C-alpha cells in the first residue's frame, strides 16, 4: 500500500514538474518574468465613455463647471414631454442617495397627455444620448437601472426605451416606484433592431412627483459578463496581449490637478452610487465606476498582476496649467494629514490581501471577492517633481509600507524624462531608501530609441531595478512601432535590471484625445489598433524568462538592426525576435545549436510595412501581422523584411 502511495506521489511530482517547467538551456541569463504589461490611465476617455461599459453619460447628474466651463448637472440630458404632456424638472441636493453623490433630478409631472398619436408617445421625462450615441445590437440584452424616490403617495410608472434618432423604439421596458425611500429599480431591455446612435428615453406615465438618480445602462455582454463591467471588445484587445501586469489608474490622473483632485482609491470602491466622482485631470469627468475593485478584478480575469500607483501625497507639478511656467504647481499634503494618508496606503494593502476578518478585507469580501487579490507591487508617485516636499512624503510613505508590509515591492518614481534633474534626484532618493524598483518615463523621437538601445546595458545591477512605466516614440506609424520593437529587444536583453515595461498611453477615443500618440484608438463600435499595438502584443505574448545572447548574428555596425532570443521555462519554447528598422531587406543568421532537440515546424509572425504606413478608421487592417508555420533547422538564414519585426517561436523537445 505504501509503495502504491509512493508511486502515486512520485507520479504526481513528475507530472507537476514536467507540466509546469522545462529545463532552460545552459548559459541563459535569468530575466524578469513580469517584463511586458500594460499602463492604463483614464485619459482620452479611456474609462468613462471607453473601457467602462456604462452607456449613460452623466448618469448621476454630477457634471459641473469645474470640469468644463459649460458643464452642469443636467449636461447630456434633455427634458422631454411628448404627447402634449407637461410638468416641471429641477436639480436638487437636499436628500441624495448618498452624500458622495449629491445631485439628483426631481420630476413633477402635472399632466401626461393622451395625444400620443401626434408624437408617437407621451409622458414627462428625460433623454440621454450617451457618449456620442448608444450602440444597440439586435437581439442583445441591456441592463437598465435607476434609483428613484417616490414623492407622491402613489406609485409612478416609468417607461424605458432605447430609440433610434427617428424615435423608433429598439428596445422597451418599464419600472414602477414602490417606495418613498431611495430604491434601485431595474429592467432588462432586449433590442429588436440595431443602431449606433441610439438614445435612452425615460418617461413618467403617471401624474405625480418623484426623484431619480444613477440612471444606468449596461450591455449584458460585458467582458467576462461582469456586472458594472468592461466593454467586451476593448477589454478583449487588452486580454489578447496577455500582459504580465496592469498599472492603473495613471499617469497624471494619480497625483491630480491640485490636492483636492488626487486619486483617492477608497473613494472608488463599494456600491457605485456611493463612490465619490471627481474632475478628471484631462478635462472631463470621472465617475469612478471603473474603480479599484474593477481594476483588480480585470487583472485577475486576464492573469495580470495589479500594479496600483498611489499619489506620493503631492499633486502634479503642472497643476493649474503651470507647465506653461515651468511646472511650479506641485502642492503637498500638510504634514498633519500624513498619518491619515499613510493609513490610506496601508489600507489598500489590507483591502487587497487581508483576510475577510480584517476590516478592509471584509469590504473586499462584501464586494464579492473573499479571496485575496495577491497584490505584490505598489507604486508611490507618478513622475513627480522631486522637491524636498516630495522627498519627505515619499520617505514617510515608503518607510511605513516597508515596515508593515515587507512582502510588498515598492515602485518609486524618477520624473517625467529619461534624464535630467528629477531623474537623477528620483533615482538617488530611491537608492538611498533601497527602493527595489523605480519608474522611468519618456516619450521621444524614434531615432532616440534606436540610438539608445544600450542605455540599460550600462545600469548598475546592484541598485534598484527599472520599471519603464511610460514610453513611446512620437507617432503611430510603422517607423515608430519598429523603433520601439528594437528598443524592446534591448529591454529583454536587460531583463535582469528592467523588471517591467509598459507603453503609454493605452487607449484613446476618436475625437476625445488629449494625448496624440496612443496604442489603441476606438470609437463606439470600431477599434483601430496601431502598428505599435501589434509590436507590444508580439512581445507580450512571447515573453520568456531566460535570455540568450549570440543566437542571432547580424551586421553589428548597423544599429537599425536588433534582435533577442529568450526561452520560456514553462513551455521550453525558444523565442526569437528580429527587428529591421532599415527601409531595405537585411540578412540575419540564427544558430540554435546550444539548445537541445528542437521541432522543425516553427511559428513565424511578421509585422512589416513602409515607414509611413499606419492604421486608420477607414482602414483598420492596413498594418497587421501575418502568421505562418515555417520549417527551420538548427542553423538558418533569415532575410528580415524592410521596416519589420519578426517573431519566431520554436518548440523544444527536451
Ligand atoms: O501617458 C500620458 C501622460 O504622460 C501621463 O499621464 C503622465 O504620467 C505622462 O506625462
Residue position matching grid coordinates 506641485: 330
Residue 250 CA, closest ligand 1 atom number: 6
20 phi and psi angles, rounded to 5 deg: -95, -35
pLDDT, average across residues 10-30: 63
For residue 21, the model assigns a pLDDT of 66
Our answer on whether the CB atom of 251 is closer than 6 Å to any ligand 1 atom is: yes
For residue 24, the model assigns a pLDDT of 87
Asked if residues 87 and 109 have their Cβ atoms less than 8 Å apart, the reply is yes
What tens digit of pLDDT does each residue of 613-625 get?
999 999 999 999 9
CA distances from 95 to 63, 101, 148 (A): 18, 10, 12
Our answer on whether the CB atom of 504 is closer than 6 Å to any ligand 1 atom is: yes
The catalytically annotated residue of 54, 67, 121, 383 is 383
Our answer on whether the CB atom of 416 is closer than 6 Å to any ligand 1 atom is: yes
Our answer on whether the CB atom of 316 is closer than 6 Å to any ligand 1 atom is: no
Return mean pLDDT, the chain.
Answer: 95
pTM: 0.95
Q: Active-site residue 140, yes or no?
A: no
Ligand 1 pocket mutation, candidates 504, 518, 519, criterion most atoms within 8 A of CB: 504
User: How many angstroms separate the CA atoms of 284 and 104, rounded?
Assistant: 19
Ligand 1 pocket mutation, candidates 317, 443, 468, 507, criterion most atoms within 8 A of CB: 443
* 252 CA from centroid of ligand 1 (Å): 5
Our answer on whether the CB atom of 508 is closer than 6 Å to any ligand 1 atom is: no
pLDDT over threshold 80, residue 570: yes
Report which protein residue has its CA nearest ligand 1's atom 4: 251
What tens digit of pLDDT does each residue of 252-276 get?
999 999 999 999 999 999 999 999 9
Report which protein residue has its CA nearest ligand 1's atom 9: 251
Q: Work out the pLDDT band at 14, boundaries 50, 70, 90.
A: very low
Our answer on whether the CB atom of 250 is closer than 6 Å to any ligand 1 atom is: yes
Beta strands in 93-156 (DSSP E): 104-111, 124-128, 134-136, 141-150
* 536 CA from centroid of ligand 1 (Å): 18
* 415 CA from centroid of ligand 1 (Å): 11
Per DSSP, the residues of 315-340 read --TTGGGGGGGTS----B--GGGHHH
Report which protein residue has its CA nearest ligand 1's atom 7: 251
- For the record, the C-alpha cell of 225 comes out as 459578463
Residue 504 CA, closest ligand 1 atom number: 1
Our answer on whether the CB atom of 515 is closer than 6 Å to any ligand 1 atom is: yes
Residue 253 CA, closest ligand 1 atom number: 6
Report which protein residue has its CA nearest ligand 1's atom 6: 251
pLDDT over threshold 90, residue 68: yes
Report which protein residue has its CA nearest ligand 1's atom 3: 251
Worst-scoring range by mean pLDDT, 20-29, 57-66, 301-310, 420-429? Answer: 20-29
For residue 653, the model assigns a pLDDT of 86
What tens digit of pLDDT does each residue of 454-490 get?
999 999 999 999 999 999 999 999 999 999 999 999 9
User: How many angstroms separate the CA atoms of 74 and 60, rounded?
Assistant: 9
What tens digit of pLDDT does each residue of 493-517 get?
999 999 999 999 999 999 999 999 9
Using omega within 30 degrees of 0 as the cis cutoff, is the peptide bond preceding 416 cis?
no
Our answer on whether the CB atom of 383 is closer than 6 Å to any ligand 1 atom is: yes
Our answer on whether the CB atom of 505 is closer than 6 Å to any ligand 1 atom is: yes
Amino acid at each position: 500500500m505504501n509503495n502504491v502511495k509512493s508511486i502515486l506521489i512520485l507520479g504526481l511530482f513528475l507530472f507537476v514538474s514536467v507540466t509546469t517547467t522545462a529545463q532552460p538551456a545552459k548559459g541563459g541569463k535569468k530575466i524578469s518574468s513580469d517584463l511586458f504589461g500594460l499602463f492604463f490611465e483614464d485619459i482620452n476617455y479611456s474609462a468613462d465613455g471607453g473601457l467602462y461599459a456604462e452607456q449613460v453619460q452623466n448618469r448621476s447628474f454630477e457634471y459641473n463647471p469645474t470640469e468644463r466651463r459649460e458643464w452642469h448637472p443636467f449636461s447630456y440630458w434633455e427634458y422631454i414631454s411628448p404627447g402634449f404632456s407637461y410638468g416641471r424638472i429641477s436639480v436638487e441636493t437636499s436628500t441624495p442617495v448618498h452624500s458622495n453623490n449629491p445631485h439628483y433630478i426631481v420630476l413633477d409631472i402635472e399632466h401626461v397627455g393622451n395625444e400620443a398619436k401626434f408624437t408617437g408617445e407621451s409622458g414627462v421625462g428625460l433623454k440621454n444620448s450617451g457618449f456620442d450615441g448608444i450602440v444597440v445590437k439586435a437581439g442583445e440584452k441591456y441592463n437598465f437601472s435607476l434609483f428613484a424616490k417616490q414623492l407622491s403617495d402613489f406609485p409612478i410608472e416609468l417607461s424605458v426605451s432605447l430609440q433610434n434618432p427617428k424615435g423608433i423604439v429598439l428596445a422597451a421596458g418599464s419600472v414602477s416606484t414602490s417606495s418613498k425611500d431611495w430604491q434601485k429599480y431595474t429592467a432588462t431591455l432586449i433590442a429588436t433592431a440595431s443602431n449606433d446612435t441610439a438614445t435612452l428615453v425615460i418617461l413618467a406615465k403617471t401624474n405625480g412627483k418623484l426623484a431619480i438618480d444613477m440612471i444606468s445602462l449596461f450591455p449584458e455582454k460585458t467582458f467576462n459578463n461582469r456586472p458594472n463591467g468592461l466593454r467586451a471588445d476593448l477589454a478583449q484587445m487588452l486580454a489578447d496581449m496577455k500582459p504580465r501586469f496592469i498599472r492603473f489608474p495613471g499617469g497624471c490622473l494619480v497625483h491630480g490637478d491640485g490636492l483636492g483632485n488626487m486619486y483617492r482609491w477608497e473613494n472608488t470602491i463599494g456600491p457605485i452610487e456611493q463612490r465619490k466622482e471627481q474632475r478628471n485631470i484631462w478635462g472631463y469627468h470621472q465617475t469612478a465606476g471603473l474603480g479599484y475593485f474593477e481594476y483588480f478584478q480585470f487583472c485577475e480575469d486576464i492573469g495580470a498582476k495589479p500594479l496600483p500607483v498611489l499619489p506620493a501625497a503631492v499633486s502634479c507639478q503642472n497643476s493649474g496649467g503651470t507647465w506653461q511656467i515651468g511646472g511650479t504647481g506641485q502642492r503637498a499634503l500638510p504634514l498633519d494629514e500624513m498619518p491619515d494618508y499613510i493609513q490610506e496606503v496601508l489600507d489598500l494593502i489590507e483591502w487587497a490581501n487581508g483576510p475577510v476578518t480584517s476590516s478592509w478585507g471584509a469590504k473586499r469580501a462584501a464586494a464579492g471577492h473573499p479571496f485575496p487579490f495577491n497584490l505584490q507591487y505598489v507604486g508611490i508617485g507618478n513622475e513627480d517633481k522631486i522637491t524636498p516636499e516630495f522627498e519627505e512624503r515619499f520617505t514617510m510613505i515608503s518607510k511605513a509600507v516597508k515596515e508593515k508590509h515587507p512582502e510588498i515591492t515598492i515602485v518609486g518614481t524618477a520624473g517625467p524624462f529619461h534624464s535630467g534633474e528629477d531623474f537623477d534626484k528620483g533615482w538617488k532618493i530611491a537608492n538611498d531608501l533601497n527602493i527595489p524598483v523605480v519608474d522611468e518615463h519618456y516619450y521621444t523621437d524614434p531615432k532616440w530609441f534606436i540610438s539608445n538601445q544600450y542605455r540599460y546595458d550600462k545600469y548598475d545591477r546592484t541598485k534598484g531595478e527599472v520599471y519603464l512605466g511610460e514610453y513611446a516614440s512620437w507617432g503611430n506609424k510603422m517607423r515608430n512601432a519598429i523603433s520601439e520593437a528594437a528598443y524592446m529587444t534591448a529591454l529583454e536583453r536587460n531583463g535582469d535590471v528592467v523588471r517591467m515595461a509598459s507603453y503609454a498611453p493605452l487607449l484613446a477615443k476618436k475625437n476625445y484625445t488629449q494625448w496624440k500618440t496612443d496604442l489603441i484608438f476606438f470609437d463606439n463600435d470600431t477599434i483601430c489598433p496601431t502598428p505599435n499595438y501589434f509590436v507590444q502584443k508580439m512581445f507580450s505574448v512571447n515573453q520568456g524568462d531566460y535570455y540568450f545572447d549570440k543566437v542571432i548574428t547580424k551586421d553589428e555596425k548597423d544599429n537599425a538592426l536588433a534582435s533577442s532570443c529568450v526561452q520560456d521555462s514553462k513551455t521550453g519554447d525558444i523565442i526569437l525576435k528580429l527587428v529591421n528598422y532599415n527601409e531595405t531587406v537585411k540578412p540575419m543568421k540564427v544558430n540554435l545549436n546550444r539548445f537541445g532537440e528542437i521541432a522543425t515546424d516553427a511559428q513565424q509572425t511578421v509585422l512589416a510595412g513602409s515607414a509611413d504606413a499606419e492604421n486608420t478608421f477607414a482602414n483598420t487592417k492596413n498594418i497587421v501581422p501575418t502568421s505562418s508555420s515555417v520549417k527551420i533547422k538548427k542553423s538558418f538564414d533569415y532575410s528580415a523584411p524592410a521596416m519589420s519585426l519578426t517573431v519566431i517561436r520554436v518548440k523544444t523537445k527536451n
